[in-house]
Each structure stands twice: as C-alpha cells, then as structure tokens.
Structure 1
Amino acid sequence: MGPNDASSGVSRRSLLAAAALLPAVAGPLRPGTTPAQGVVPSSALPSWNDGPAQTAILDFVRAATDRSSPSFIVPENRIAVFDQDGTLWVEHPMYTQVMYCLERVPAVVAKRSELKSVEPFRTVLSGDREAMAKLSRGDLEKILAATLTGMTVEEFRAEARTWIEKAQHPRWKRPYTELVYQPMLEVLRYLRDSGFKTYIVTGGGQDFVRVYAERVYGVAPEQVVGTAGATKYGYGRDGRPILTKEPKLLLNDDNAGKPEGIYFMIGRRPQAAFGNSTGDREMLEWTGASGGQLKMLVLHDDAAREYAYGPARGLPDSRVGRFTPALDEEAQRRGWTVISMKNDWKRIFAFESGS
C-alpha cells in the first residue's frame, strides 16, 4: 500500500482487493508557520498517547530542526512521504477507489447500453457479490478501464468529486473523507509546521486522490504521487484543448514502484516515511538508505475502534494492507517504529471523543 500487467492505471493492490473482498462489501489542514528551531509544541500530537511512537516523531522533528544537532536537515531536504490507504484513512473492507469503480458501473452502462448484457458488467449490475468475487483479473480490468478512462480529466475529476462527497462507508455510514486518522492528520500538520513538505505516495490512482487530498489532508495535488495512467492531448467539439484519460499504465506506484515514483515525481529522497503494509516496504527501505531517521508503520490492531489484521503478531490475515511477520521482523531489524492503533492513539477519528 514490481511490474503490473493492469492496463487501467490502477494498482495491482486494488485489483486484488476487489477480487478478494467484493462479498464484504475531517476538516482541512493547511501548512502553518514554522516554529523556532528545535522547539517542540506541547500540543503537537494531542491524539497520541505517550510512548515510543510519539517520542520517535517528536525526537525526529526536534533533531531535524535544531541547527546544533548532527541530525539537522536543511529546509530544502525536509521531505516526508505518506502512504494513503491504511496509513491515512480506512482501507477495509476494500479500497475506496475500488468501491468507486464498482458503483460507477450503472452510470457507465447508462451511457453505453451495449454493455448491459456483456460480462463483467452484467454481473456487477446484478448485485450478486458471490458472483462478483469470481470475476477474473481480466474482467476487473475491463471494469476499471470503463470507469476510469475514456473521459476528459475534468470530467473524471467532477465525477470523482461528486461520488466522494456522497458515498458512505458501509460500517460507519459516514463519508470516506471523515474516516481519516486524526493522529496522522496531526503528524502531517506538525511536520509542515516544522518546515517539511508532505507528500502522499499511494498505490491508488493519482487522479482520484488528487480530487480530495488538499481539502482532506492539506496536501496539494502536485504533492500526490500515485498510480498513474496516460492521457492524450486533443480538441473538444468547441475546438478547445482537452486531455483524455487513456487505458494505459504509466506508473504502478506500489512496492518497488514507490521509490521509483518518488524519484520520478519528487526528485529528492525522503527523510521520513509512513506506511502500513508490504506495499510500503521498499519506500521505507529507500528512505533509510538516504539516511532518513523516521520510518514508521501503522499496525491495525484495534478491531473495536477500526479493524484488526496482519497476519503479523497473531492478527487475522488480510488480502488488503497485509502486515506480514516478515515485514514486522524487518521493522525490528532496521529500527523502524511500529505504531499500534490500539495503544498509541487516544482516538482514531476526529468524530471520536478522546480518552
């Protein structure tokens, strides 16, 4: 959260999630002013419990902004990268963008009636979750291509914005944009207040995340690096220039694709990286190889307030956002900090009351 044979511009991670989990179907943050060098506001992370995870963040920022520290980071190199699904917001029971694609099928079929009796669209329209779970990778690619390409970038942006404003998570019955992790929003803001540029580096669709990233996370569209599809320059009926989304993959921003995307889109190695799954491993490795001192992984171990899945540490296995024993072992070996949702966060969502 390697090469991908998908042609739709959506990550392999989303495809696997859709296939495996079909049956299971906050206010803005803006960059603030930079505090005095080396000063740590006492209220920087109010939704965090005292502990190693909170301390790691505070100590990192203190050292990075203290000119007398050997770990001082010059302002232009203060780059922090964050995975999105499972790191900044909820990724279960399936990725939000997969839900978007499935729910877009009726609208696509309404415009292209010939698809109504054609698979896999007929299966999706039937609402039979068990049947949808049996769809092949090729079938899923057809759905993703039909719902994410063939329109102008402005049309896609408008459709995605309309959906994200109205769609609700099946468990909480709240908009997906309210299911962002309050402790991570505080980290984003705290790092920006300390002179860092914050980037989202996600296996999800770059265009999709850019629709809401600035409003939800305070991250500008140009600071979102995601799985990207091709666009084609042309002219509309009125003669005005347009860009049309095409079913051609340019960047699979997952696994090894994350450091590749960081190099391609950002051009500087991160000094801090946050993830939650095997899809983020290479990004944390790349950050550490550059001397970056803060590498963190969110562990979903709170079934009461959110979800619990691993399969590391005896948690249930998952095909979405897997945190494996091998990843856990690597984190311990390399000194990466594992954030326990259950133990490190006073509250998970802004609508919760703190404890």
Structure 2
Amino acid sequence: MITRRRLLALSAAVFGSPVVGFATGASDPLPSWTNGTAKQAILAFVARVTTEQGADFVPTAERIATFDNDGTLWAEQPYYFQLAFAFDRIKAMAPQHPEWKDHEPFKALLQNDKAAFASSGESGLLEVVAATHAGMTTDEFTDAVRDWMATARHLRFGRPYNQLTYQPMLELLAYLRANGFKTFIVSGGGVEFMRPWVEKAYGIPPEQVVGSSGVVKFETDATGKPRLIKLTQVEFVDDGPGKPVGINRFIGRRPIFAFGNSDGDLEMLQWTVAGAGPRFAGLVHHTDAEREYAYDRQSKIGKLDKALDAAAAGGWTVVDMKNDWSRIFTE
C-alpha cells in the first residue's frame, strides 16, 4: 500500500465568496459545536489573543491560522478526493485514447478492476496522474477541476465533493476571520486542484492556499498568446515536514493557530506550538462511522497515530467528531 507521503510525492509531480451557513450576528459563533472542552478551548484562545491590554494579546497582522484540507475541512474517505478526480478523468478521456482499453493501468480503471489497478503499484499511479494532471495549460486544468466538481458525486453520500465540507469547520473559519485572523489552507493536496473551488467553499482566496505543486512552464502558442503548461516534474511536496517549509516559504509568518487530522499534519502543529506566546494546535479525530467515518491509527488514508500521541503529550485540542460536532456536513 502506498503511503500518503509517497502518494503525494508522486501526485505532486503533475499537479499542476463568503461561506454560507454562518451568521456573524448569532449569539453562538460555533452553533454546530457541542458545548464541550474543544469548543471552550477555541473560544477561550480567541478571547485571549484578541483582548486588547491583555497579557496574551496578539496584533491582527500576526493572527495567522493554518488548516489542513483533506480530513480537516472536508472528508477524505474512502480515498483522497483528488484521486477520485484522476480516476474519473481517465474515464472521461478514454474516447480520445482507444489504446487505453488494452494498456494497464488504464484498462483496470476503465473496467473498475480495483485489484488489477492496485497490482500496478506506484508506476501505475504515476501513469494515471501524469495522464490527468500534466501536458495541458493551467487554464485547461482549472476548467477540468471545475467541471468535475459540478458533476461528480461521492460514492457513499451521493453528493458533490465540495458539499462534503464540514459545517463546524466553516463556522470556525468564519469566527476566526471575524476576530481578525487570516486563514490559510496548508495541504498535501495539489495546489492547482484546490484553488478553483476553495474560495466559494471556505471563503479562503486562492492566494492563501499552500499545497503540493509540479513544475509549470511559460511559453507562447502558435498565435503568440502566452500560456502556462503543466509538466511532470515535482516542484514541492507540502506534506509532513514539507508543511512548515511551505508555511515559511509562502506565508512568511509562523501561525499561532493550526488544525489538522493526521500524521501528515504533525510537523505543522509542532512548528506552530514551538513559537513564542499563545499557541493553539487542534486535531479532528474521526470517530463517527454512522454520520461520516471512524478511523485513526491503522487507517491507510488519514492515519492518525504519532500526532494523536503528540496531542496527548502536548495538551493539544482533539476534536471528537461524534461527540463534539452536532452536525457534520454543510446543508
């Protein structure tokens, strides 16, 4: 089984409006959170850092909050949604590639043969990602992502993928911004896969998205029009230890507030709490198999093991999805 970090390393080689549902005037800024320790920890932290004349006051410019995406802001099971996009793209592109029906790993995907596709290993995955993410302009890729978001449906929930965002986290993002925070996505997913839809989904503009990326080349077409072409080489993998590196490179300020859900977020959380002054580190723990999914230490997707231990040792806030959220998804 390919680890998440290795999967993202392969995928990164070719990656080339306000949130609805939160009333800022409401008496409870986090209505989908039950009144437990997680909610109280968030409210208390925000009050501490925004109280002028207080010992822990943090100037607005330094109120940086970073969030993982997969499994933190939207669902990630049964496999990362960007892989679902790649698999669906193979089927959509198949009429233009008749040779795929006899060539693995494309043949397996077109026949929905999961075992055969799995046997193709890393090389097969690389071929699929290359075919669906490279060799096109950045504008063409953006259009493909938007079209997929408008038409694709999750196998279990039957909903568009961008409607599988977590309502409690949307409320948290809005609450932080209402209190002077600047919110960023720092994800192992492809930055060009996220940017076309995250602003409408989360209220986070594309320039505040840090993700894995592949090399992009500037050129002019036959008419002299400039364009950017997505290539297959890896540029940056924003997962694990890459996350604090990405924060340093693309944001330039250490966050004081960070949320993740897996071991891929461990270094981001460690980097956050290592700074001076008040700090908040949070983990979403998937414990609700009925309304969403339940997984942690043994999961192949979104494994939460070392980070869970670090949370216990460091006093980080762990959100128990089943008990801390009265509602999971956005209506």
TM-score (norm 2): 0.92
Q: CA deviation at 1:2?
A: 7.3
Distance 2:112 2:104 in 1: 13
Relative to structure 1, the CA distance from residue 135 to residue 245 in structure 2 (aligned partners, 3 Å threshold; closer, same or farther) is same
> Structure 1 residue 347 and structure 2 residue 290: aligned?
no
Distance 2:127 2:103 in 1: 11
Relative to structure 1, the CA distance from residue 84 to residue 59 in structure 2 (aligned partners, 3 Å threshold; closer, same or farther) is same
CA contact (8 A) 2:36 2:324 kept: yes
Code of the residue aligned with 1:310 in structure 2: it is D
Identify which of 295, 303, 311 aligns with 1:322: 303
Partner of residue 9, structure 1: 12
SS of structure 1 residue aligned to 2:299: coil
Partner of residue 288, structure 2: 302
CA contact (8 A) 2:135 2:229 kept: yes
SS of structure 2 residue aligned to 1:93: coil
Distance 2:23 2:327 in 1: 26
Relative to structure 1, the CA distance from residue 111 to residue 258 in structure 2 (aligned partners, 3 Å threshold; closer, same or farther) is same
SS of structure 1 residue aligned to 2:186: strand
> Structure 1 residue 44 and structure 2 residue 29: aligned?
yes
- After the TM superposition, which residues 127-206 of structure 1 pair with which residues of structure 2 at under 5 Å, given as runs? 127-206=112-191
**For 1:295-341, what per-residue CA distance to the aligned partner results, in whole angstroms no more than 9, with x for missing partners?**
00000001111100112xxxxx21000111x3222111111110000
Partner of residue 95, structure 2: 110
> Structure 1 residue 338 and structure 2 residue 318: aligned?
yes
81-90 or 230-239: bigger deviation:
230-239
CA contact (8 A) 1:6 1:141 kept: no
SS of structure 2 residue aligned to 1:200: strand
Partner of residue 21, structure 1: none
**For 1:42-98, what per-residue CA distance to the aligned partner results, in whole angstroms no more than 9, with x for missing partners?**
321011111110011111111111112221111111100000000001100111100
Distance 1:43 1:56 in 2: 15
Distance 1:237 1:216 in 2: 37
**For 1:124-153, what per-residue CA distance to the aligned partner results, in whole angstroms no more than 9, with x for missing partners?**
122212212222101101110110011000
Distance 1:33 1:196 in 2: 17
Relative to structure 1, the CA distance from residue 239 to residue 132 in structure 2 (aligned partners, 3 Å threshold; closer, same or farther) is same
CA contact (8 A) 2:265 2:307 kept: no
**For 1:110-130, what per-residue CA distance to the aligned partner results, in whole angstroms no more than 9, with x for missing partners?**
334444422211221222122
CA contact (8 A) 1:188 1:217 kept: yes
CA contact (8 A) 2:188 2:238 kept: yes
SS of structure 2 residue aligned to 1:130: helix
SS of structure 2 residue aligned to 1:133: helix
Identify which of 9, 19, 36 aligns with 1:29: 19
CA RMSD across the alignment: 2.2
Relative to structure 1, the CA distance from residue 3 to residue 167 in structure 2 (aligned partners, 3 Å threshold; closer, same or farther) is closer
- After the TM superposition, which residues 281-296 of structure 1 pair with which residues of structure 2 at under 5 Å, given as runs? 281-291=266-276, 292-296=278-282
CA contact (8 A) 2:136 2:230 kept: yes
Relative to structure 1, the CA distance from residue 3 to residue 162 in structure 2 (aligned partners, 3 Å threshold; closer, same or farther) is closer
Partner of residue 61, structure 2: 76
Distance 2:7 2:149 in 1: 26
CA contact (8 A) 1:200 1:224 kept: yes
CA contact (8 A) 2:66 2:183 kept: yes
- After the TM superposition, which residues 258-269 of structure 1 pair with which residues of structure 2 at under 5 Å, given as runs? 258-269=243-254
Partner of residue 24, structure 1: none
Relative to structure 1, the CA distance from residue 167 to residue 123 in structure 2 (aligned partners, 3 Å threshold; closer, same or farther) is same
Distance 2:291 2:144 in 1: 31
Using the aligned pairs only, state the percent identity. Answer: 45
Q: CA deviation at 1:34?
A: 9.9
Q: CA deviation at 1:7?
A: 4.8
SS of structure 2 residue aligned to 1:298: strand
Q: CA deviation at 1:5?
A: 8.9
Code of the residue aligned with 1:128 in structure 2: it is D
Code of the residue aligned with 2:282 in structure 1: it is M
Identify which of 56, 74, 86 aligns with 2:71: 86
Relative to structure 1, the CA distance from residue 133 to residue 92 in structure 2 (aligned partners, 3 Å threshold; closer, same or farther) is same
Code of the residue aligned with 2:325 in structure 1: it is W
Distance 1:308 1:52 in 2: 20
CA contact (8 A) 2:13 2:215 kept: no
Structure 2 residue runs of 5 or longer lacking an equivalent are none
